[in-house]
Structures are given as structure tokens and as C-alpha cells.
Amino acid sequence: MFSNKWKHLTPTFPHTLFTFSIWHNLAPRPPPSPPLQISLELYRPLNEMRFKTSDESPSGLKYAINHVFLPPRLSQADDASLENELFLAKSFYESLLGFRQLEPASSEALNPALDMVERFSEAEHITPLIIRAMICGLNNGGKHPSRTHPGVPGQHT
């Protein structure tokens, strides 16, 4: 008999997630989909529609300053909103761009990070299509194999 104390650990929520580990090989396979084309026009950026510059969005700038600098006398309530978070990500992206222009020597090291932040600030929500496109379109990042993680297969950390 299981004791009642482990009751809270029994997975009630993600039933579907178990297909992930145990049955994903046994489940009937869907017919193979055609190879992923890079005609991923369906990938939709948000920025043209929702991003505002600091002139148009004083609340976004206020939010960025509060959360980046943590000045005294902060707001006492939750002030998160999608628009503010988008402004934060976008302004960070613009800073990285500005830095690369002023310091071209850093551009090789900075480019992968810049692409990542750009993609993140464009699509704040992950949709199935974006995930698929991004995973299938991964470049070989982490150029130096010496820096790969020296893990022992099968050994849990």
C-alpha cells in the first residue's frame, strides 16, 4: 500500500506527457511528413505590431528601469505585462545591436547571441510551428568541441 504522504507527488496533470517517455516508440507512427522546408512564412514576428519605442511606451521604459536597475521605492504590486516584457527584450536586443556597431571586433562572438535574443523578442509565445522551425533549423552552435560538456553517458547528475 502506498502511504498517503506521497499522494501529492502522483502525477495528476500531464497524462499525455507519459507518452513522451514510455510509449512514444510504441504508439502508431504518423505517416512521415515531408522534409521541413524553409518556406516557414508562417513564422510570424510580433514586433511590427506590438513593439513600441520608448517614446511611445513610457510604461515600458519605466518597467525596464525598475527591473534592470532596481532603484529604491519600487512598485509594491505585480507589474508584469506582455507589452512591458516585450519592450524589455526588444530594448535589450537594440542595445546588443548598438554595441556590435560600435565594436565590430566583438561581432563574431556576439552574432549567435544576437540572433537568439532577436528570435526571442519577436516571438514571446512559442507556437508549435515556431518550435518545429527552430529545432529543425538549428545551426551547429557551440563551435569549439573542447567546450562541450564532458558528461558520462547514462550517469545522472
Residue ranges in 106-145 that form contacts with another protein under rule CB under 8 A: 106, 108-110, 112-113, 115-117, 119-120, 124-128, 131-145
By CB neighbour count within 10 A (0-12 exposed, 13-18 middle, 19+ buried), where does 121 fall?
buried
| Least spacing, CB of residue 22 vs another protein, in Å | 9
| Chain residues 68-97 in contact with another protein, contact rule CB under 8 A | 68-72, 74-82, 85, 88-89, 91-92, 94-96
**Contacts of residue 151, Cβ cutoff 8 Å, sequence gap at least 6:** 157
Binding residues among 42-71 for another protein as defined by CB under 8 A: 42-46, 48-49, 54-55, 58, 61, 63-65, 67-71
- The CA-based diameter of the chain, rounded to the nearest angstrom, is 67
Burial 55-72 (b: 16+ CB within 10 A, else e): eebeebbebbeeeeeeee
| Cβ distance to another protein smaller for residue 2 or 48 | 48
Please report how close the Cβ of residue 60 comes to another protein at its closest, in angstroms. 10
Q: Which amino acid is at 76?
A: Q
- Least Å distance, CB 55 to another protein, is 8
Locate 79 and state its grid cell. Answer: 507589474
